[in-house]
Chains A and B, each alone.
Chain A
Amino acid sequence: MERCDDMSTVNLLKDQLVEERKSFIVVKGRQKNQLKCEADSIAGCVSQRACVYCGARVVLNPVTDAIHLVHGPIGCASYTWDIRGSLSSGSELYRNSFSTDLKENDVIFGSEKKLARAIDELVEKYNAGLVFVYSTCVVGVIGDDLEAVCRAAAKKHGIEVIPVQSSGFIGNKSAGYRAACDALLRLIELPAGKLPGRTAGSGGRSVNYLGDFNLAGEAWIITNYLKSMGVDVNVVFTGDATHQSLKKAATASLNIMQCAGSMAYLARRMEELYGIPYLKVSFLGLEDTSASLRKIAAAFKDPEMMRRAEELIARETAGVRPVIEQYREKLRGKKAAIYVGGGFKAISLVKQFREIGIDVVMVGTQTGREEEYQTLHDIADDGTVILDDANPSELEKFMLEKGAHLLVGGVKERPLAYKLGVAFIDHNHDRKHPLSGFVGAINFAREVYSTVCSPVWKYTRGMGGVLHAQE
């Protein structure tokens, strides 16, 4: 199917959408159409979509004590040097940038030797027990035998050297998530003795928490909640994870999974291989956080745990509600537009905005899946524009038409929103405050407030009184 990617079609016809794009947009309550999604981009479009390597790096990068070696020309490594705000409680090794920096000769004559040298030098320097070697497009084409080099290096140094098959052109970001999960699966050891039972209730009280990258310390917040319910977090995939903690992932009795986009495959595989069941959760907003904690307690079929969960929910909610109420007052009547990467996040955000009294007038994702769009459609208000993989002219059109005061998006949407005179918050990897759990709900409200209600928007009208955007 041919189509244009998110940022396409700017000059396109302000009031008339490109025919091809129509099937990617629905207005709740108006059409019956299924939204098209999950398609590839075509050549010649302003594509926002990232590559396989990007997806793999996002998932693996938070592993703090690993050497993340990017095998390729310099750029791929430069652009991913410490751009994600995953926090560590120990090693900071993952915040360095390692590249084989391929040169012309390497491309012509092969780069296996250089890679082997790089691994040797890095292992000697940093004394690490784990190396991830990411392949990039060029390596995919010149056909280096990554497996062989990694195997030899692992043997030589007595550590784990794991190739990540992330050549950019073999798919999109989702393929990268999968490549990362495959790499993680290679790390996990079969526990001695018997596997943890197939039901969460039988015996152990420990869970793996999948799909939290510990941005701004979010995984720690959730880990603490669980602890106060009597649940131990065995390891987080992959926020603040270490080589050793990942290895013993198979000892947990339940997987809870937040970011389904990147982690569903891993959860399924762990169920198949180790008999660990999984639960979908979300810790964004009061509603989702409370529901998820209850769901976890229910999975363990333990009344005491449920009691403690209720206690935690009651205590935290009591602290948070009044603050949220204050913001609600101030934000009354404001309207938000959402444009984020995955569907899971979009769904949570719609609920979160409702909690702080803001109407969502437009919601879109880059890579949302069909069932997620169904959910979005179910929870959205009538008249909400729902779109897949939007481009700037569409974002502009709907934000202005619907009178949005705020856009939630990623790096590339921020300047766009500002040019339109619309407030902005980053709900991606550039976030600076934890947005998860109960405290995250307050941070979220505060962040929304501080941008939407900033006085700077008052000056967006030019001196001649000509519009610059809304008042």
Chain B
Amino acid sequence: MLDCTPKEIKERSGGVINPAKTCQPIGAMYAALGIRNCLPHSHGSQGCCAYHRSHLTRHFREPIMATTSSFTEGASVFGGGGNLKTAIKNVFAIYNPDVMAIHTTCLSETIGDDIPTIIKSAEIPEGKLVIHANTPSYQGSHVTGFSNMTKAMVSYLAEATSETKKEQVNIIPGFVNPGDMREIKRLVTKMSIKFIMFPDTSGVLDSPMTGKFVMYPGGGARVEEIRDSGNSMLTVALGAYASSDAAHLLERKCNVPAMTLKTPIGIKATDEFLMTLRGKFVREVPYALEEERGQLVDAMIDLHHQFHGKKVAIFGDPDIVIGLTEFVLSLGMRPVHVLTGTPGGTLGGPQDIFEKEITEMLAKAGIEGRVKAAGDLFELHQWIKNDPVDLLIGNTYGKYIARAEDIPLVRVGFPILDRGMHHYMPIVGYRGAMRLVEMISNALLDRRERDAADEDVELVM
């Protein structure tokens, strides 16, 4: 039987069973792909890089390009400096990117390679850039890796060059799909506000079929834009875990005020996002967006009776899960199990944001539930066995639990390895929320009809 999880819950201290996270470098690799003409580089053994690329390929169904330092035994004894220097030379000679974005791996971190010093002594062609982020996987998760690489964009590239700040906003979208990034850009454009988004993987990982293979598909944040982010009057970091650190660094470095908002999933978070922009830039929310919002509310009302009181378990990356939890609460559902694999706070930032935020939301709604950061899916499964739910929301790995407990699964988050289309279709903004309403409603109704006796099957629901 596929279900090997015992119901009885016991304290564990020897590691993870069925993880709800993965390692930092893959997040760093993903973030780096959000710079135009950038080649991510993995400083470590070739195996890590191959895994990260395959995993991203499975999720995005796109070619993922990244290079590796190809450590061998020698490098692991004497350090990987030589490998990295050779790599820098080869990368520019062969692949000719504008930017090479180096992230470390557990191995190079353990050996203790000093990347900035190595970069300084490497030959870098005129006009080309090398940036780096330290991404040891024995801290944090893939979300931390994304955050660290985004921070590196600020520390290496952002500059304050003008006396007065420009009327433009920096948006750090967080670890979301290219379709979400597109949608966030559309919302800001509709607000008639000039913006700089970084990283921005739209146009890179959702590029069209053209009959050609190109190494750098043309999307992504341009280096000049990231530079100019130091001159913006505000940075909006969407998601405390993936985006906050970079925004705060930009504040310290270039004096650009930072604001952290939730990833705009659901009506409340999207409202907050747009209201913030409206307030800071003195703009009216255009009718087009009011209309979208109205449609969303209309949909929520039309279908609310399906949602009310339904128990749901949610897992995935902290920023996404916070947004989802808030949204299902606004639909009248009861998120009784909420879990992320990513550990507590942000590095150097406030601790336990995840558990605190979710616990507050649940308390406000009068719901008793279990909340955990740094958990795993084995534990979530045990929770569900002890306190069953009507619906599971999370990434592909939820399918084992869904099957074992015979509950519907709505796939949201990273990675999704067994369904297509998700990286094109947003879950953020009002439209994204409508899509979530549709997915959740369909999942619940499909299940009800599957289980219904003949006489209970209704045409109109």
Contacts and interface: CB of A to CB of B under 8 A. Distances in A.
Interface of A: 4-5, 7-12, 18, 40-54, 69, 72-81, 92-93, 95-104, 106-107, 114-122, 125-126, 136-138, 140-142, 168-170, 172, 392-393, 396, 411-412, 414-416, 418-421, 460, 462, 467-470
Given A79-B22, A415-B61, A43 B16 contact: no
23 contacts: A11-B96, A43-B90, A44-B41, A47-B70, A73-B136, A74-B16, A74-B137, A75-B137, A79-B22, A79-B51, A81-B397, A96-B4, A97-B16, A97-B19, A98-B17, A125-B6, A137-B105, A138-B107, A168-B47, A169-B72, A169-B73, A421-B209, A470-B211
A42 B50 contact: no
Given A47-B46, A73-B137, A101-B16, A9 B94 contact: yes
B107 A169 contact: yes
Contacts of A75: 22-26, 48, 51-52, 106, 137
A137 B4 contact: no
B441 interface: no
Residue from A8, A10, A44, A170 having most chain B Cβ neighbours under 10 A: A44
Given A9-B94, A44-B88, A45-B90, A99 B16 contact: yes
A120 B14 CA distance: 8
Interface string B58-75: 100111111111111101
Contact of A419 (B41, B44, B110, B212): B212
Nearest to B20: A78
Contacts of B66: 46
A299 B71 CA distance: 45
B14 A119 contact: yes
Contacts of B46: 5, 41, 47, 49-51, 168, 172
B70 A43 contact: yes
Nearest to B72: A169
B7 to A, nearest CB: 12
Given A117-B13, A138-B110, A43 B83 contact: yes
Interface string B137-154: 111010000000000000
Nearest to B60: A415
A468 B210 contact: yes
B6 A140 contact: no
Contacts of A467: 211
A90 to B, nearest CB: 10
B372 to A, nearest CB: 15
Residue from B12, B68, B87 having most chain A Cβ neighbours under 10 A: B68
Interface of B: 1-4, 6, 10, 12-19, 21-26, 41, 44-55, 57-58, 61-73, 75-76, 83-84, 86-91, 94-96, 105-107, 110-111, 136-139, 141, 209-215, 378, 397, 400
B15 A100 contact: yes
A470 B85 CA distance: 41
Q: 10 tightest A-B contacts by CB?
A: A51-B47, A75-B23, A118-B14, A44-B90, A44-B87, A469-B211, A468-B211, A117-B14, A78-B22, A79-B51
Contacts of A10: 65, 95, 213-215
A125 B17 CA distance: 11
B36 to A, nearest CB: 15
Contacts of B50: 47-51, 54
Nearest to A77: B19
A183 to B, nearest CB: 18
Nearest to A102: B138
Given A11-B95, A419-B212, A142 B48 contact: no
Given A43-B70, A79-B55, 17 more contacts: A8-B95, A41-B46, A43-B90, A51-B50, A53-B47, A54-B50, A75-B106, A76-B23, A97-B18, A104-B136, A107-B106, A116-B14, A140-B76, A411-B54, A412-B53, A412-B54, A412-B57
B15 A114 contact: yes
Nearest to A97: B18
Contacts of B47: 50-54, 137, 168
Contacts of A40: 70, 72
Contacts of A18: 94
B16 A415 contact: no
Nearest to A48: B50
Given A92-B2, A168-B48, A419 B210 contact: yes
A96 B17 contact: yes
Nearest to B378: A96
Given A74-B137, A460-B211, A46 B2 contact: no
Nearest to B136: A104
A199 to B, nearest CB: 41
B75 A169 contact: yes
Given A104-B138, A416-B63, A43 B76 contact: no
Given A44-B89, A95-B2, A137 B213 contact: no
B70 A42 contact: yes
B53 to A, nearest CB: 6
A137 B54 contact: no
A53 B107 CA distance: 14
B16 A77 contact: yes
Contacts of A92: 1-4
A73 B213 contact: no
A414 B213 CA distance: 12
Nearest to A126: B4
B199 to A, nearest CB: 20
A73 B21 CA distance: 11
Nearest to B216: A11
A101 B19 contact: yes
Nearest to B399: A82
B4 A81 contact: no
